[in-house]
């Protein structure tokens, strides 16, 4: 029998119950659930997390932006997350929480094994492609499950590319389909502030970057791609992932740049310093 790769749970006021699933990844599992707000994070050392409270807060903030003023109780949610991670039994886990709009008071918890990206992507950099017209978030500030299907379908056709970059009608690179995007241009770090999902890792990266160089909270345009000195993606699972090619254009020298590498080291140290147990 194949090893189960996703464990699904549902938390209510009466406790945590396991809900069997045949999903092979977190996106597949999400597509089987009612519409809701979601967030995803990873464990460290099996039972620690980084800024878990921010993830829980983002759930309720996203729900409110979509017109559903829901409020899960954080203390019992954290205890249930710890229990679910323990029951799944993976050495390291990716955890997805979904706050359903159609079942107020409940919380879905999905656990999958966390596998780091291949080391060569950090050493050599990743290739991204720009999204076709029409691929966008309906409400960029809300992390709603309604974007999982179009995002997953677009990524399924990536072939040799790692990520799809969403582009504004004005031709500006906003973010990745599952990441935030940063670029070094004219010796300043640029990232979109409007029209994007403000990721948890993004906040930490900006704080570290402001110690090194100017940070411009505006996106770069497609026309500026040939002038980029460096670029990278950020997310909870990726950390900082260098981008060395966008569409058919190399970024800078075509290798991970010094600012990207230094920020990667600083982010890892900052995360390590803030790790906390899943539950008290």
Question: For residue 78, what pLDDT is reported?
Answer: 93
Q: What is the 3-state secondary structure (H, E, C) of 25-84?
A: CHHHHHHCCCCEEEEEEECECCCEECCHHHHHHHHHHHHHHCCCCCCCCHHHHHHHHHHH
- Which numeric CATH code is attached to 119-272? 3.20.10.10
Question: For residue 151, what pLDDT is reported?
Answer: 77
Bridge partners of 184, per DSSP, are: 189, 230
| CA–CA separation, 122 and 104 (whole Å) | 41
Q: Are 241 and 213 in contact (CB under 8 A)?
A: no
Question: For residue 75, what pLDDT is reported?
Answer: 65
Q: Which pLDDT tens digit goes with each residue over 119-172?
A: 999 999 999 999 887 788 888 889 999 988 887 777 776 677 899 999 999 999
Whole-angstrom Cα Rg for the chain: 19
Question: For residue 74, what pLDDT is reported?
Answer: 59
| CA–CA separation, 8 and 115 (whole Å) | 18
Question: For residue 72, what pLDDT is reported?
Answer: 61
CATH topology of domain 7-113: D-amino Acid Aminotransferase; Chain A, domain 1 (3.30.470)
Q: Assess whether pLDDT exceeds 90 at residue 17.
A: yes
Question: For residue 3, what pLDDT is reported?
Answer: 61
Question: For residue 102, what pLDDT is reported?
Answer: 81
Q: Which of 51-55, 92-96, 120-124, 152-156 bottoms out in mean pLDDT, i.e. has the lowest?
A: 152-156
Residue 73 banded pLDDT, cuts 50, 70, 90:
low
At residue 82's C-alpha, the angle toward residues 78 and 84, to 5°, is 115
State pTM to two decimals: 0.93
Question: For residue 277, what pLDDT is reported?
Answer: 97
Q: Where are the domains of the chain?
A: 7-113, 119-272
Mean pLDDT over each residue of the chain, to the nearest integer: 92
* Percent of the chain clearing pLDDT 70 (strictly above): 95
Question: For residue 83, what pLDDT is reported?
Answer: 97
Question: For residue 1, what pLDDT is reported?
Answer: 32
Q: Which of 1-15, 33-47, 217-231, 238-252 bottoms out in mean pLDDT, i.e. has the lowest?
A: 1-15
């Amino acid at each position: 029998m194949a090893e189960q790769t996703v464990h699904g749970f549902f938390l209510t006021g009466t406790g945590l119950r396991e809900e069997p699933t045949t999903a092979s990844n977190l996106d597949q599992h999400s597509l089987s659930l009612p519409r809701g707000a979601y967030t995803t994070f990873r464990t460290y050392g099996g039972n620690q997390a980084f800024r878990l409270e921010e993830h829980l807060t983002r759930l309720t903030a996203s729900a409110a932006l979509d017109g559903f003023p829901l409020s899960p109780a954080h203390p019992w949610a954290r205890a249930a997350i710890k229990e679910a991670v323990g029951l799944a039994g993976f050495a390291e886990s990716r955890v997805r929480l979904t706050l359903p709009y159609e079942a107020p008071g409940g919380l879905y918890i999905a656990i999958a094994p966390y596998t780091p990206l291949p080391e060569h992507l950090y050493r050599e950099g990743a290739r991204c492609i720009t999204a076709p017209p029409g691929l966008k978030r309906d409400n960029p500030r809300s992390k709603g499950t309604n974007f999982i299907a179009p995002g997953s379908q677009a990524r399924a056709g990536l072939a040799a590319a790692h990520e799809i970059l969403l582009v504004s009608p004005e031709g500006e690179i906003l973010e990745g389909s599952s990441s935030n995007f940063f670029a070094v241009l004219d010796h300043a770090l640029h990232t979109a502030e409007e029209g994007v999902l403000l990721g948890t890792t993004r906040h930490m990266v900006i704080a570290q970057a402001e110690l090194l160089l100017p940070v411009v909270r505006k996106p770069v345009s497609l026309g500026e791609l040939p002038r980029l000195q460096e670029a990278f993606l950020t997310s909870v699972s990726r950390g900082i992932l260098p981008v060395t090619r966008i569409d058919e254009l190399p970024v800078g020298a075509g290798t991970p740049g010094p600012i990207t590498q230094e920020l990667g080291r600083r982010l890892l140290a900052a995360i390590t310093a803030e790790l906390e147990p899943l539950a008290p």
